[in-house]
Structure 1
Amino acid sequence: MSAVAATVSASAAAMVRVDSLSKVYPGGVEALNSVSIDFPEGQLTTLLGPSGCGKTTLLKIIAGLLPASQGSVQVDGRPVTGPGPERAFVFQDFALMPWASVLRNVGFGLELRGVARSEREAVAEKYIIQVGLAGFEHAYPHELSGGMRQRVGLARALAVNAKVLLLDEPFSAVDEQTRRKFQEDLLQLVAQERKTFIFVTHSIEEAVYVSDRIVLLSRRPSRVSSIVEPAIPRDGGTEEIRRNPVYLDTVEEIWQSLRQYLD
């Protein structure tokens, strides 16, 4: 079976369910048209499609940051009516508080929930170490590189222990070397945390590298074109993935599927 023709595993439980979702912006711009997707628990699913197809719109509706025009979103069986503690968003532009240290930025979500300072700082320190920023707890955003600031944003999302992590092109603002390291780190986080990750990227190579599933979206108004499940063994280590013929074949197959939208 080809990768693009692959279907969702029936045994995977849906943590996030998007049902017949449509979004029309003021002025009549239709971004999404009757989109239905299930996002399995404990997996990373990537939204991939032509530029302007509504990937970020869909992500923000799942986050509760935008209202849908029609349809519904459920997270863990509950309807989404706005932001909630079971979801955490990692923004493309870092969205850090410039006046706060790394420690406070990472613990800020817990601070908003009223968690005691000693407890939230202990949790923040755990995730600061996990994303590779040990020793920078008391640094400020302007003292960090772009890659380090993005690690702070990821640690902040992890610290609130949300069931669903929503990542909007989180690696687009960093250089290629840092981006590759982030991709490796993300694979390890998915394996360790067993949360539901929903990832937006423009990069086919990145999507195939990090994803359990890839949802291909059509040109706006966006629909689900197909779902890809890259059958790439990951037990040989992250450095082996890009050398695997299945990786190369899947990248090419997705490109052939998406190039129609560029004509």
Structure 2
Amino acid sequence: MSQTRQAFDDAQPSDQDIAVSVRGVSKNYGAVEALKNMSLEFPRGQLTSLLGPSGCGKTTLLKIIAGLLKPDSGEIIVNGKAVSGPGPNRAFVFQDFALLPWASVLRNVAFGLELRGVPRSEREAKAEKYIRDVGLAGFERAFPHELSGGMRQRVGLARALSVDSKVLLLDEPFSAVDEQTRRKFQEDLLALVENENKTFIFVTHSIEEAVYVSDQIAILLPRPSRVSEIIRPTSFRTKGVGNIRRDPEYLDIVDEIWASLRNYVE
């Protein structure tokens, strides 16, 4: 381990600072072992990226944390309580947006609150706040087919934020947008992590994206998936979004992660 990498691993979160714990989780699809005895912790109020080659179980793990899949063994603990299925303490942002095509932006964003029985005036006020926060003010009455892919993804993110879940699960949310939009999303995501006091678990295939947005990066190796290492970037996080990609630590981490993963990429 290099001297630089050691610095990333110095700050270990204490138990009370852990929002989500994955404890000995295994998951099989028939004869295929997707996850085997995986354990991983996600610090409260931070963004952790799950990074690794295709087929390493990133989305499977995310869906198990969400309660959308049941593990064959092991358990997920969210804020001290075992997960037995989907719940209001977690919100999922899907890669394919998963919007209601017949509903306006406002109703799509407020839909989770509508399902919870929140009064219309209250849920729409909260939805309008998050529509503004994700940069869609003025599009409240628009419908999904009238929006670009990037705008539809913003609607999905606003919907997840509006239900006020403590844990947000994001499955490659920026993969379907162009590079310019993706960079803007990454900057916006950093602002949300700083301002929302929520725990973000973020699946990505992009090394550069993971290093840019993450407080913690969990590198997963191919199935049966296991955690290769945990990286916690430090020094460049306070230097401003415009300076991150030029920072020597950022560049070193990107290079070291690629060196550790290149043999697993087909």
Per the normalisation by structure 1, the TM-score is 0.97
How much has 1:194 moved relative to structure 2?
1.4
Corresponding residue of 1:245? 248
Structure 1 residue 82 and structure 2 residue 54: aligned? no
Between the aligned residues of both structures, percent identity stands at: 70
Q: How far apart, CA to CA, are the structure 2 residues paired with 1:194 and 1:202?
A: 25
Q: 1:56 aligns with which of 41, 54, 59?
A: 59
2:157 aligned counterpart, secondary structure: helix
**Contact 1:7/1:228 (8 A) holds in 2:** no
Structure 1 residue 146 and structure 2 residue 149: aligned? yes
Q: How far apart, CA to CA, are the structure 1 residues paired with 2:238 and 2:254?
A: 20
How much has 1:7 moved relative to structure 2?
5.4
Q: 2:137 aligns with which of 123, 134, 138?
A: 134
2:242 aligned counterpart, secondary structure: helix
Structure 1 residue 28 and structure 2 residue 31: aligned? yes
Q: How many residues align?
A: 262
**Contact 1:187/1:210 (8 A) holds in 2:** yes
Amino acid at match of 2:44: E
Q: How far apart, CA to CA, are the structure 2 residues paired with 1:159 and 1:148?
A: 16
1:34-65, Cα deviation, whole Å (9 max, x unpaired): 11001010000000011111000000000000
1:179-203, Cα deviation, whole Å (9 max, x unpaired): 0000000000000001000000000
Q: 2:122 aligns with which of 115, 119, 123?
A: 119
**Contact 2:236/2:249 (8 A) holds in 1:** no
Q: How far apart, CA to CA, are the structure 2 residues paired with 1:244 and 1:201?
A: 21
Corresponding residue of 1:2? 4
Q: How far apart, CA to CA, are the structure 1 residues paired with 2:86 and 2:134?
A: 25
Amino acid at match of 2:52: G
**Contact 1:3/1:231 (8 A) holds in 2:** no
2:69 aligned counterpart, secondary structure: coil
Moved over 4 A (4+): none
Q: How far apart, CA to CA, are the structure 2 residues paired with 1:232 and 1:174?
A: 29
**Contact 1:8/1:227 (8 A) holds in 2:** no
Q: How far apart, CA to CA, are the structure 2 residues paired with 1:191 and 1:243?
A: 21
Corresponding residue of 1:210? 213
Unaligned runs of 5+ in 2: none
How much has 1:10 moved relative to structure 2?
3.3
Q: 2:170 aligns with which of 135, 160, 167?
A: 167
**Contact 2:236/2:250 (8 A) holds in 1:** no
1:108 aligned counterpart, secondary structure: helix
Q: How far apart, CA to CA, are the structure 1 residues paired with 2:49 and 2:5?
A: 14
Amino acid at match of 1:173: A
Q: How far apart, CA to CA, are the structure 1 residues paired with 2:23 and 2:258?
A: 27
Amino acid at match of 2:22: V
Q: How far apart, CA to CA, are the structure 2 residues paired with 1:66 and 1:52?
A: 16
Q: 1:225 aligns with which of 225, 228, 231?
A: 228
Q: How far apart, CA to CA, are the structure 1 residues paired with 2:13 and 2:146?
A: 47
**Contact 1:7/1:227 (8 A) holds in 2:** no
1:157 aligned counterpart, secondary structure: helix
Amino acid at match of 1:69: D
Q: How far apart, CA to CA, are the structure 2 residues paired with 1:175 and 1:196?
A: 26
